[in-house]
Amino acid sequence: MTPNQPGQIHRLPIAGVKNLIAVGSGKGGVGKTTIAVNLAVALASLGYKTGLMDADVYGPNVPLMMGINRTPMAFGERIQPLEQYGVRLMSMGFLNPGDKPLVWRGPMLHSVIQQFLRGVDWGDLDYLIIDLPPGTGDVQLSLIQTAPITGAIVVTTPSDVSLEDARKAVSMFRQVRVPVLGIVENMSYLDCPHCHQRVDVFSYGGGRRTADEMQVPFLAELPLDPQVRIGGDTGSPIALRKGEGEPFLELARSTVERTADAARQEGPEIEIGE
Amino acid sequence: MTPNQPGQIHRLPIAGVKNLIAVGSGKGGVGKTTIAVNLAVALASLGYKTGLMDADVYGPNVPLMMGINRTPMAFGERIQPLEQYGVRLMSMGFLNPGDKPLVWRGPMLHSVIQQFLRGVDWGDLDYLIIDLPPGTGDVQLSLIQTAPITGAIVVTTPSDVSLEDARKAVSMFRQVRVPVLGIVENMSYLDCPHCHQRVDVFSYGGGRRTADEMQVPFLAELPLDPQVRIGGDTGSPIALRKGEGEPFLELARSTVERTADAARQEGPEIEIGE
């Protein structure tokens, strides 16, 4: 019932990848993929070499949100990532396009994720963002136990139901000793496009309160902005836009800082070539 | 990579349970549990004997939304469901309260769900609603392969990202020959509480369009109403309220009709005692 102990974990580094950041959530539909996509695009636009791995193999929304869907090439045994908006990408959506659901059993899933992590030619990256599947299950556990994750971001909405699951996600990362870089409160509030009054659709402020209670940093609060959703639905992330993208650039800057803190606490980095 | 063929499936009836309705979604956070909870409460208030099984063992939100959390009793080998608002309930949240995440491996999970289905003393029920975990994965497949499900409801928001995953959910149910009772479009639009103009936060109308395309019934469109969320966060489902609960009573009535249609198509019902 308990995960393997930290002492048993083999977290082999990924050659060339300096920082691995997992974006998770206890609950689905809180905007985890939206945050992961826009964070990756923002990091790239700040000049960092960035990759985005879509580990949500059952509901891979990264291709739609990044506006790209082609079959990746393989050179020898290495899969070549696609590239869009300066971000190197890998997603199960590239390999299984269309509406057919993947109904794989656990063990097969684990090997796909390992393949994505270590069989893809990511090259030199400052940041590899992993969009985890929502929840605190089997796949998440496997991944964070075997990947050399520098730190994790937990996304939540301010609703109590989402916060309840966000606390579970923070606990999961702690159990396997992955530093939590911080909590992001997404869909914090809506600015009515008609009267410009504020609507607290999913309540407000619970992300910061939960971060305080659990003694993890509070990274950002992001509004429920229909433009963010439209950016996702049309494959043109809002982080690309001047002005409107600013909250995500700000999130990217905080992430860079927190990651540096986390990396320092983990001790000196050891680079291992292939 | 493909599920077992229908011929191999052993879907033993559950003694005393007339109709088993699964509420699923391709994507999390679309309000699946909110729909399941309010549908169950509405069916009970229409006079049907109703149960609600929370199969989302990783993120069990039913206890919070139903405002009840006690450890269930066992008589002999049978677990006794809790009861709230006239609905018999079982959830992993009752057995594992608090913030500790469950990080179980697949096989253990399957046995818990079987236990919930067949080890709980549901008694005589007109409707047992199953709140599936979001997605189209392992657990979902296992459950819908082994449970005698009368029909499934697929919940989506109108955003393209959610619709993409809803199509996968419909395909999954079809693959294992579970009739889809219909698609529910949740968070269809927001009525601004200040200016009462309509805001299409997550777009609008994609649920009906998708239902038409996939030739499944369209069951309901439900607004993004902060009162629905507050009902969930405070354990007092909106379906209990006169007037405001009407859309859910309407959904319950449509569900009763569609279920009768689906049961007729499946041929005569065979009741097997214990």
Query: How far does the CA of residue B103 sit from the closest CA of chain A (Å)?
Result: 5
Q: Which amino acid is at B25?
A: S
- Quote the pLDDT of residue A2: 44
Judged by CB atoms closer than 8 Å, whether chains meet at A201 and B202 is answered as: no
Q: Which residue has the tokens 């990759």?
A: A51
A-B Cβ pairs (cutoff 8 Å, strict): 195
Judged by CB atoms closer than 8 Å, whether chains meet at A161 and B61 is answered as: yes
Say how far apart CA A190 and CA A201 lie, in whole Å.
7
Say how far apart CA B228 and CA A5 lie, in whole Å.
41
Max alpha carbon distance in chain A (Å)? 58
Which residue on chain B is closest to A141 by alpha carbon?
Answer: B103
Q: Which residue has the tokens 């890998």?
A: A90
Q: Is the pLDDT of residue B250 over 80?
A: yes
Query: How far does the CA of residue B2 sit from the closest CA of chain A (Å)?
Result: 7
- Quote the pLDDT of residue A7: 42
Say how far apart CA A58 and CA A92 lie, in whole Å.
8
- Quote the pLDDT of residue B2: 43
Which residues of chain B lie closer than 8 angstroms to A165, CB-CB?
A: 59, 61
Tell the burial category of A215 from Cβ atoms under 10 Å away from its Cβ (0-12, 13-18, 19+): exposed
Judged by CB atoms closer than 8 Å, whether chains meet at A61 and B226 is answered as: no
Q: What angle do CA B247, B253, B258 make, to 5 degrees?
A: 125
Which member of A134, A135, A202 has the closest CB to residue B229?
A: A202
State whether the Cα torsion B116-A154-A202-B26 is positive or negative: negative
pLDDT band, very low/low/confident/very high, at B8 (cuts 50, 70, 90): very low
Continuous H helices in chain A: 32-45, 62-66, 92-95, 106-118, 138-146, 160-175, 206-213, 226-233, 246-265
Q: Are strands A151-156 and A180-185 parallel, antiparallel or unpaired?
A: parallel
Query: How far does the CA of residue B223 sit from the closest CA of chain A (Å)?
Result: 12
Average pLDDT over residues B151-178: 94
Which member of B157, B171, B190 has the closest CB to residue A201?
A: B190
Which residues of chain A lie closer than 8 angstroms to B141, CB-CB?
A: 103
Say how far apart CA B181 and CA B220 lie, in whole Å.
11
CB A54 within 8 A of CB A162: no
Q: Which residue has the tokens 């996968």?
A: B168
Q: What is the pLDDT of residues B182-204, one digit of tens each?
A: 999 999 999 999 999 999 999 99
Please state whether the predicted TM-score (pTM) of the whole model is above 0.90. Answer: no
Q: Is the pLDDT of residue A74 over 80?
A: yes
Query: How far does the CA of residue B101 sit from the closest CA of chain A (Å)?
Result: 5
pLDDT band, very low/low/confident/very high, at A272 (cuts 50, 70, 90): low
Say how far apart CA B32 and CA A134 lie, in whole Å.
14
Which residues of chain B lie closer than 8 angstroms to A3, CB-CB?
A: 103
pLDDT band, very low/low/confident/very high, at A111 (cuts 50, 70, 90): confident
Angle between helices A206-213 and A160-175 (to 10 degrees): 30
Q: Which long-range contacts (CB under 8 A, 24 or more apart) does B43-47 make?
A: B43/B126, B43/B127, B43/B129, B43/B252, B43/B255, B43/B256, B44/B85, B44/B86, B44/B87, B45/B85, B45/B86, B45/B239, B45/B240, B45/B245, B45/B249, B46/B249, B46/B252, B46/B253, B46/B256
Which member of A101, A133, A167 has the closest CB to residue B99?
A: A167
Q: Which residue has the tokens 């499934």?
A: B152
Query: How far does the CA of residue B44 sit from the closest CA of chain A (Å)?
Result: 23
